[in-house]
Structure 1
Amino acid sequence: MTGTTIRAMRDDDAEAVVALWHAAGVARPWNDPARDLAFARRDPHSTVLVAERDGRVAATAMVGEDGHRGWAYYVAVDPAHRGSGLGGAIMAGAEDWLRARGVWKLQLLVREDNTAVKGFYEHLGYRDTRTTCFQKVIEP
């Protein structure tokens, strides 16, 4: 994609990344984005990728692996750039990052009511595995 670079997030991208997450609607009040960024970037098992267009952060994907599968979170595209291919490009970057580490499966979670994004992922070849995700918050 001309004019777009997919790269690992740098420290000086943090403010733009958090702003993008809010603009794209992927940030949630119960998650501290600064904490999530620091946690994802703490070791080589995960990272935050950005798609940079015209010198600005235009898309993101937090990607990591747990020893069995790869996962993507905070996949976000600047609303002004939706429909331009950035979503597919950042997901291809996440797949490449995992493939380079020998990971052969990528999973992600989609909120049940987010029907628009379900179609996007299906278009990219992802399928609903018909599984249920359980969660327990173990720290206040």
Structure 2
Amino acid sequence: MYIRPYQASDEDTVIALWNECGLTRPWNNPHRDIARKMTEQPELFLVVVDQQEVVATAMIGFDGHRGWVYYLAVAASHRHQSIGRKLMSEAEHLLMERGCPKISLMVRSSNVSVIEFYRKLGYAQDDVVTLGRRLIHDT
């Protein structure tokens, strides 16, 4: 098993994994999310490969102020093997290399098991409210 940057040939498998993990939403077209990421810091879009199959992903970004992690997903067949932990460690390493002082991520409040996963990694809930506004509608 190894971590490498995303490749265009991974797209269908990655989107299937995101669907399996419940990460996709009707208002976010995953094909467009990938295409957009490939225009900005594509080397920070990571996949984990096991026997030629993508089994995990993490989409990472750095805006000069803080790093972000999106689409952290691990296939059900590969959970409880520390793959998510290794991906987050790699994300932290890549961001620290860029001088990033802090990582943020968003987890749906209903996803209690994932919140607990991040707490075990040393992440804490910030006292903030995340606001958003759609600029481009994917639907």
What are the equivalent positions in structure 2 for 1:38-77 lying under 5 Å apart? 38-44=35-41, 47-77=44-74
Which segments of structure 1 move beyond 4 Å, counting only runs of 4 or more?
A: none
2:18 to 9, 17, 21: 21
Q: In structure 2, the residue corresponding to 1:122 is in which secondary structure?
A: helix
Give the TM-score normalised by the residue count of structure 2: 0.92
Counterparts of 2:54 and 2:93, CA distance in 1: 19
Any idea what the Cα deviations from partners look like across 1:46-79, whole Å, max 9, x if unmatched?
7311011121111100000111000000010001
Structure 2: gaps (5+ residues): none
What TM-score do you get using the length of structure 1 for normalisation?
0.92
Q: 1:82 aligns with which of 79, 83, 94?
A: 79
Letter in 1 for 2:64: G
In the alignment, structure 1 residue 8 sits paired with structure 2 residue 1:
no
Q: Does 1 or 2 have the higher relative contact order (CA < 8 Å, sep 6+)?
A: 2
In structure 2, C-alpha distance between the alignment counterparts of 1:19 and 1:41, rounded to whole Å:
18
SS of 2:14 mapped into structure 1 = helix
Q: Which amino acid aligns with 1:18?
A: I
Let me know the Cα RMSD of the aligned residues.
1.4
For 1:45 and 1:67, locate their aligned partners in 2 and report how far apart those are by CA, in whole Å. Answer: 16
**2:115 aligned to 115, 118, 138, which one?**
118
Paired AA for residue 83 in structure 1: H
Within-5 A mapping of 1:28-43: 28-43=25-40
Unpaired runs of 5+ residues, structure 1, are: none
Identity over aligned residues, as a percent? 39
Amino acid across the alignment from 2:106: L
Q: Shift of the alpha carbon at 1:43?
A: 2.6
SS in 1 for 2:35: helix
- How many residues end up aligned between the 2 structures? 137
Superimposed CA distance per residue, residues 56-114 of structure 1 (whole angstroms, 9 cap, x where no aligned partner): 11110000011100000001000111111111111112112211211121110011111
CA distance in 2, matches of 1:121, 1:40: 23
